[in-house]
Amino acid sequence: MDIKPKPIRSGVVFLLAAMLAACGGSDGDSIDIACPNTEPYGCSTGETEPLYTFQWALNHADSWFKDYPEVFAGNLDLNVEPVHRQGIKGQGVKVLVVDSGVDLQHEDLLPNADYSRSWNLLSNTNDPHPFEDMEAHGTGVAGIIGAAQNGKGVMGIAPMASIAGVNYIEAQYVPNAPYLVHGGSEWSSQTDVFNASYGLDTVAMPYESPVTDPQLPRGLKNLRGGKGAIFIKAAGNSFSEPLCGIGLPAYFDCSNPANDNFTLEPNILAVAALNAKGVASSYSSAGSVVWVSGFGGEMGRNGLYGEGAGESGQDGPTVYTTDLRGCIEGYSNTNAPTPFLRGQSERNGVPDNPNCDYMSMNGTSSAAPTISGVASLVLSANPELTWRDVREILRLSARKVDPDYLDRIPYRGDKPYGSMMDLTTNEVVEVRGGAKDIVDGATLTPLNLGWQVNGAGLEYSNWYGFGLPDAERAVALAKEYAANPSMSRGGDVTIPEFRYLSYWYDGAGADSAFPVPADVPRIQREFPYKRITSLGKFTGGEQTVDQFQVRLTGGNVCLGAVGVAVRSPSGTTSILKMPDDHFRAEGIGYFVDYALGSYAFYGEQAAGDWELFLIASNPEPSKLVGKRNGDGTVTEFMSLPCPNPGSDDDDDDDDDDDGIELGDDAYAFVVSARIIAQ
């Protein structure tokens, strides 16, 4: 079957008004030394740029937004200024913005533009300018990473990095496009840092199949002379989606970043988004494959520059960056919602954006390039680092954020995020829950587990991964690696085959619906909806865990009612998928090799028994849901029966359910797992 759903850009619809993110170390003490960077502005911070005051992710303390505590708090930014004062600004690092295309002629991008590494998949030229007039997404991403420091507009996190672009989003169906983009061409094979601010987090794609060839992302490890390219990916913007209910509070991610198979690969770093308060952006997808968090802001629709909280009290500033030039194309235009974006704002009588060449954008689309920028600074400080080194440095430099988020209450909600769900009704109840409540036979399940300390002593959160990287600490670590090369990890992680755990079935023909080895334990019973059920145990070997993965295949099983948790021999529990998610809206009942992963066990010893749990909600209650259209509108409908007869999620428009034929009262469910080792 030919499954080619369209990648979705991970910037929230109407990515407008506001600015960059924040961290308390920006104005820490520094020692005056001779600047090793002899270029203009070599050791200067972004204060040289007229719009820098709006770039709160680079300097929170002195941001224009500091006088608006309703939307701006937390005292967090990326702490890049100490790095910039050292003259480290991304020089020598080659970045490829894999997106909708990039306007490399922009005044703030041209000084760093590299046409020799750029490509337009539609025109077959080296000018990656997008074909669509309003498609400024990639230009915005490029500016966040590498807008030049030239006394104009904004400044990128790595303002001396070499910037190239490719219009992959608008040309993904060009023959061989995925391979050309991901290192399979002369122009992409030179890349040090890839930024991918798009994703497929709403589809149940098969994992390690011809449709989703894992060799594509794994081949990136061969770039940079075998050290491996750094691939930064947006986690998604699906936390609060209409597919999970119209007007309902969002207690957990409506989707799952792991639905995008790329995020299951250890060399692909999924990035969640923080707002200017230093907590999760309202849209930011959460899941156990998130590595770290960056800054994405909120919607920025209120005030002159995005400083208003709006009627909901949930809005706030976004990330300021470059736009397609002029007031006709791009997000900054005469019909935009805020004065800045319309080119009408001014300070002290001086227009901010008279030619509409700058904009503000949000989403994990903005968060990912903030981390790509930090990764570029790290490689600039030490070009010999491997992909594993950079990944580890981002983790080691990360700061814990929003430590008590389980106590907060979501918008429209009346109970905290740390509450429990009644699996018999799918309702949130006034009972606080935790990992200890995930046991066989329970009918209540925790909605979130918050920050957990695993058996290796590492703190991890499904919302934030390992936290928010600190650029100063990251660059210091890069220098430590240079001074002590034995710290480097040059080898690859170990990715074994999946091992079958159990085969669950009932009804005529279900015992042979899916081919599995004869020695796989078989359990014949009704599918255990409305409760937590142990799926069996998995024995780990003498290894150190990188990621734990689970793979599921089902026929006549409501995927939207299926949740999965795993408990390690060390006692750490991770929720890999919550039930009652977006798959229930359309009644998805057939799925093959659907995979999930978790970094919550990173660094633990694998030896011992791992237990897998099914967290199954009630598939029956109907509710009003909605599906987003390409123009930003939402089509409302009542959720379909789940499993919906004949439903699958492969988008191949066939009617054969991939050859699976089961009666209405029959089902089959196959569970496999593996441990990827460090």
CB 367 within 8 A of CB 283: no
Chain segment 289-315, per-residue pLDDT in tens: 999 999 999 998 899 999 998 888 889
Which helix (DSSP H) or strand (DSSP E) does residue 421 occupy?
strand 419-422
The DSSP output letter for 632 is S
Calpha distance 638→586 (Å, rounded)? 9
Write down the pLDDT at residue 34.
Answer: 82
> What H or E segment, with its residue span, contains residue 600?
none
Low-confidence ranges of the chain (pLDDT < 50): 1-6, 8, 11-31, 651-657
DSSP annotation of 258 reads G
Check residue 512 and give its pLDDT. 93
pLDDT score for 18:
29
pLDDT for res 650: 53
Q: Which helix (H) or strand (E) holds 269?
A: strand 268-274
- Domain coordinates in residue numbering, the chain: 9-25+45-398+465-487, 499-677
Question: At a CB cut-off of 8 Å and minimum separation 6, what does 110 contact?
Answer: 104, 148
Mean pLDDT of the chain: 92
Alpha-helical runs (H) found in 466-585: 471-483
CA distance 494 to 236: 27
Q: What distance in Å separates the CA atoms of residue 54 and residue 63, rounded to the nearest whole number?
A: 6
Q: How far is CA 622 from the centre of its chain?
A: 30
Cβ pair 257, 583 in contact under 8 A:
no
Measure the CA–CA gap between 84 and 46, rounded to whole angstroms: 9
Run of H or E residues at 422 = strand 419-422
3-class state of residue 347 by DSSP: strand
Cis bond before residue 643 (omega within 30° of 0): yes
Tokens of 320: 């300021």
Tokens of 162: 């070499």
Please write the tens of the pLDDT for every residue from 245-270: 999 999 999 999 999 999 999 999 99
Neighbours of 328 (CB within 10 A): 11
Question: Position 575: which residue type?
Answer: I
DSSP state of 643: S
In CATH, the architecture of 9-25+45-398+465-487 is 3-Layer(aba) Sandwich (3.40)
Q: Write the DSSP string, 156-180.
A: -SSTTSEEEEE--GGGTTSTTHHHH
| Sequence-ordered strand ranges (E) for 53-112 | 94-98
By CB neighbour count within 10 A (0-12 exposed, 13-18 middle, 19+ buried), where does 22 fall? buried
- Give CATH for domain 499-677: 2.60.120
Distance between CA 532 and CA 433 in Å, rounded? 14
The position carrying tokens 């303002």 is 159
Burial class from Cβ neighbours inside 10 Å (0-12, 13-18, 19+) for residue 667 reads: buried
Planar angle of CA 587, 233, 273, nearest 5 degrees: 80
Contact, 610 vs 598, CB < 8 A? no
Q: How many helices (H) and strands (E) does the chain have?
A: 7, 30
Segments in 397-464 forming alpha helices (H): none
Beta pairing, strands 590-598 & 522-524: unpaired
Question: What pLDDT, on a 0 to 100 scale, did the predictor assign at position 3?
Answer: 36
Q: How much is the pLDDT for 656?
A: 41
Q: What is the pLDDT of residue 312?
A: 85
